[in-house]
Amino acid sequence: MSAGAALLSVAGLAVHYGAIQAVRGVDLEVQQGEAVAIVGPNGAGKTSLLSAIAGIVTPAAGSVAFEGRPLASVAVEDVMRMGIALVPEGRRIFASLTVEENLRLGATTRRDAGGIRQDLERLFEKFPILGQRRSQPAGQLSGGEQQQLAIARALMARPRLLMLDEPSLGLAPAIIDQVYVLLREICARGVTVLLVEQNAERAFAFADRAYVMNGGAFVMAGTGSDLAASEGFDAAYFGIRMERGTAAP
């Protein structure tokens, strides 16, 4: 990656599902080491944006590049090998598989058996409840424990960019606190984080920069503190006015 180049670069991205325009002309850059949040209501296009970056859906227009390398036509598993991991909305753990088996699925693109074993033990130390229940079916975990498992599974890929889709969804406030403490620790280890959230307060407190998404487009951008203090934030978030204001942060 050349000096000053963004780790992740998205330009003019559009995602369509038939006649539905889920994402409309989105531009986004994320630098190495940043924590960036995208907030917005249900149906804003946030999940579709992450899915397009991860290679799960094919954009109708625009481009995605990682370290300057275009991701068009790159298979999902190859996107993971390049260093992008996604923690999907709803966690999507495999309930009938054990905790350890779920974690090993996160390393399917790796071939370093010794490193995989080391990472397993390191994550069991980092997530003690997962270590205690490594041989139990993942479906027996609580919602908060399943979220820990989903994050740990993504970390098994050794990502340079970790994307999370609604990590606080359905969790009690105390568990959300724990999740965000963990995400700060992940950032402190040098992993770049791109976070999608409905909970703007949590996202703004965590991220270096944030975007407000509504109607498939970014309608505001800036630091979390600037957006939280903006008189126009509620209108942009709830779609009361839909100007395509995209002031650069």
Beta-carbon-side half-sphere exposure of residue 28 (alpha carbons within 13 Å): 35
In the three-class reduction of DSSP (H, G, I as helix; E, B as strand; rest coil), residue 92 is classed as coil
- From CA 34, how far away is CA 236, in angstroms rounded? 24
In the three-class reduction of DSSP (H, G, I as helix; E, B as strand; rest coil), residue 220 is classed as strand
Mean pLDDT, range 234-238, rounded to an integer: 88
Kindly indicate whether the domain formed by 8-238 is annotated with CATH number 3.40.50.970.
no
For 227, other C-beta atoms within 10 Å of its C-beta total 25
- Name the token pair of 106: 């996160």
Return the H-helix or E-strand segment holding 214: strand 209-214
- pLDDT for residue 209 is more than 90: yes
Q: What pLDDT, on a 0 to 100 scale, did the predictor assign at position 4?
A: 58
- Name the token pair of 131: 């270590």
- From CA 160, how far away is CA 178, in angstroms rounded? 22
List the domain boundaries for the chain: 8-238
Q: What pLDDT, on a 0 to 100 scale, did the predictor assign at position 241?
A: 45
Helix axes 143-155, 113-126, angle to 10 degrees: 150
> Tens of pLDDT along 8-23?
999 999 999 999 999 9
- pLDDT for residue 203 is more than 80: yes
| Cα→Cα distances 132→36, 97, 145, Å | 33, 15, 12
Return the H-helix or E-strand segment holding 77: helix 76-82
pLDDT band at 126 (very low <50, low <70, confident <90, very high): confident
